[in-house]
A and B are shown apart, each in its own frame.
Chain A
């Protein structure tokens, strides 16, 4: 496995506010990485540093480039869709294709036209006249037709309805992702991406609180639902958190043997949203 992103002591301050605090992070090729955190936790700051959109302190290596100083070279290998609709509204769809073809040496126009043929995006219209869903489809078509090594998605499906969102991720997996590529995603809809992620990074107040493979998480983190009589025994095993909902008590454990917990009740896999809440609530 090769590291494609390595950050050491990565920090970023805006005035007295420290958006990233000495972050260490490695991301390997062929992963789909979810970057999860509350608003203002530093997700976008981290992505902007990786994309060379903002300066930073510390060491950061993306595909062998220093992102801030070599953004234009780096962008030959990275694609990026952000939460805000960033395609210029005055541009026609045709012009957007021409432009990306003009600046990206590895852009495959036929491929993009193929993706667009499956949508109702009109080629001769200005982007301002497309619906929000069509703009995202266009952006995705442009980006999936570039032979990039890393794809960064910052809240890509914000404001889309559920049908588009499902389609978006399905297309991403089917038509773009393979073992040579890496995808970085931030989103609030954690449940939506849970089953496509292979690695997850939790950020809280500028720190990375957890960076792990999904398999490791499934092995280490467990949810135990116990009947009333086993509650004290479960508490004795020092759970990370405890929650009572509609008379049922559930505990979240980290690093306990499944067999040990199974004696006390039903053990199940932790969902990312539960893990998120647990990590954000802890000290």
Chain B
């Protein structure tokens, strides 16, 4: 949809490479978030209490409208205060699905072209291996998650609308309860900042997946995971440490949640972080170390792509 509005016109090698990635990975970039969003909306409409009584509290069932009608003033205040966090959390199904798309697109990036021997066609074109790998890396780490954010936004608007409709017939107004405390621009900026920073933090992981995809004779997933598992096992057995797994865990976990705390059933100081807070993690030296590692891995990947012809 995005590609039909932005057209590829004439000579522009890097743009052509990016389009080529979109054409090949339409499913990961576009269809996956579309389907997850659609299914989530459907689930909410059918199951979450718009039509049926799907909210269970102490053995009683409510529809969403009844739930809102039965809220106390303090509960309503709390909902209103934390509406941004609720919306942020609602992005989880889409972002988790899209994360898997990122992983599998990276694993296939330099493997599929050898499997279907189209690498000979790509290599007969005047584009360098550096450009090719850069276009694939950008697609995996930025295009896929940023397109997903568009769907996340649509889903969040949908939630607000469903919530608003549910306030009809209650003492609460949709404006006071939901919209007045929702800061959509801030929400989107936070999400974009989170996605960009996440991709940069996780860059060594995705670079590693690309390396596996250029090496693998078959099943890049195993090529990517088995050496890591063996080294981690070795490290555990002989050094009784788990630095490698900690490193990977740190890199693939989502940092935005670090500042969110739950005490019992209540939110304590929830601070999901402003866009600025998220960007500030770039001040951490290990952020730059990760980028350097990623650059090293990608350099080797370029050399191997240059060597592989079929």
Contacts and interface: CB of A to CB of B under 8 A. Distances in A.
Interface of A: 48, 51-55, 68, 71-76, 78-80, 82, 84-92, 95, 98-105, 107
A165 to B, nearest CB: 20
A90 B123 contact: no
A143 to B, nearest CB: 8
Nearest to B8: A98
B124 A80 contact: yes
A102 B8 contact: yes
A54 B118 CA distance: 16
A86 B10 contact: no
Given A54-B309, A90-B23, A102 B117 contact: no
Contacts of A53: 120, 123, 309
Nearest to B24: A90
Interface in B74-114: 113
B117 A71 contact: no
A72 B119 CA distance: 14
B230 to A, nearest CB: 26
Contact of B124 (A75, A84, A85, A105): A75
A79 B126 contact: no
Contacts of B280: none
B261 interface: no
A63 B254 CA distance: 51
B124 A79 contact: yes
Contact of B24 (A51, A88, A105): A88
- The B contact surface, by secondary structure, is helix
Contact of B116 (A88, A98, A101): A88
A150 B89 CA distance: 58
Interface centre among B113, B116, B122 (most CB of A within 10 A): B116
Contacts of B123: 51-53, 71, 75
Contacts of B243: none
A85 B117 CA distance: 8
Interface in B1-48: 8, 10-13, 15-17, 19-20, 23-24
Given A73-B126, A92-B23, 16 more contacts: A53-B309, A54-B309, A72-B129, A75-B126, A75-B127, A78-B124, A82-B120, A89-B118, A91-B23, A95-B19, A95-B23, A98-B16, A102-B13, A103-B17, A104-B125, A107-B11
A75 B8 CA distance: 21
Given A89-B116, A101-B10, A104-B125, A55 B307 contact: yes
A99 to B, nearest CB: 5
Interface centre among A68, A98, A105 (most CB of B within 10 A): A98
Given A75-B124, A87-B121, A99 B19 contact: yes
Contacts of B16: 98-99, 101-103
B225 interface: no
B128 interface: yes
A76 B126 contact: yes
A72 B127 contact: yes
Interface in B212-232: none
B240 to A, nearest CB: 41
Given A53-B309, A105-B11, A99 B20 contact: yes
Contacts of A82: 120
A163 B129 CA distance: 38
B8 A88 contact: no
21 contacts: A48-B309, A53-B120, A53-B309, A54-B309, A55-B307, A71-B128, A84-B310, A86-B118, A86-B119, A88-B24, A88-B121, A90-B24, A95-B20, A95-B23, A102-B12, A102-B16, A103-B13, A104-B125, A104-B126, A105-B11, A107-B11
